[in-house]
Amino acid sequence: QSVLTQPPSVSAAPGQKVTISCSGSSSNIGNNYVSWYHHVPGTAPKLLIYDNDERPSGIPDRFSGSKSGTSATLGITGLQTGDEADYYCGTWDSSLSAVVFGGGTKLTVL
Amino acid sequence: QVQLVESGGGVVQPGRSLRLSCAASGFTFSRHGMHWVRQGPGKGLEWVAGIWYDESNIYYGDSVKGRFTISRDNSGKMLYLQMNSLRTEDTAVYSCARETSLHCTTTFCSDIHFDYWGQGILVTVSS
């Protein structure tokens, strides 16, 4: 059972928009910054969003992040088949003194 | 360019030990916290351990606390994970990851995130 809760899967058609939620508590998301990662098994994970809503250079603006209270959301617009992957949220948990990840969300582009 | 290359994985029997290494290049290693993250078969990402740039703070996940030890050699640009008393549930692909954080106190960073990852190395614990 992950400390952060994500939906196991989401799906949408090419060109559409999808959002992935990440729910936590005051000891993690509520008082720390959230990051998001794109991961295709067998390859290195890639940082998509850091500090709740910042994109590293090279990440297209189709990807966005937001945070409200103890929840965070990753948004992806203009879906492409290449976006199919597992997506993870992560943050620091001040009570556990540990980095925590969500359980991951598998994105299917139909 | 930033590169992180893991080595030292393999097949080991339960109860035995293994040491993973991560060779870093393309950045000032001594300025970044470093971490180990693993992914077991059919599972999600699990954070294992992290070490500050100056070794002043070291943290472990509950599942490895007391069995694993993270360390680093800044002059050699190397990160290590000593894994003792291995269990079958430790079977996973282990990746090293570079941390970049700006919002830090003396004991933790509230904006911790991993901007570069290695490809990972497989560790199989089996009799």
* pLDDT tens, residue order, chain B (127 aa): 999 999 999 999 999 999 999 999 999 999 999 999 999 999 999 999 999 999 999 999 999 999 999 999 999 999 999 999 999 999 999 999 999 988 888 888 888 999 999 999 999 999 9
Answer whether A76's CB lies under 8 Å from A63's CB: yes
- Tell me the average pLDDT of chain A: 96
- What separation in angstroms does the CA of B32 have from each of A89, B12, B43, B89, B126? 21, 31, 28, 29, 34
pLDDT number for residue B106 = 84
Interface test with chain A among B37, B45, B47, by most A beta carbons within 10 Å = B45
**What is the C-alpha separation between B20 and A12, in angstroms, rounded?**
40
Residues 6+ apart with CB under 8 A from A7: A20, A21, A105
What is the band of A67 on the pLDDT scale with cuts at 50, 70, 90? Answer: very high
pLDDT number for residue A34 = 97
**What is the C-alpha separation between B116 and A104, in angstroms, rounded?**
19
pLDDT number for residue A95 = 95
pLDDT number for residue B107 = 82
pLDDT number for residue B108 = 82
- Tell me the average pLDDT of chain B: 96
Parallel, antiparallel, or unpaired: how do β-strands B92-99 and B34-39 relate? antiparallel
Which chain B residues contact residue A51 at CB under 8 A?
Answer: 111, 113
Amino acid type, A44: A
Tell me the pLDDT tens digit for each residue of B8-45.
999 999 999 999 999 999 999 999 999 999 999 999 99
B95 → closest Cβ in A44, A90, A97:
A44
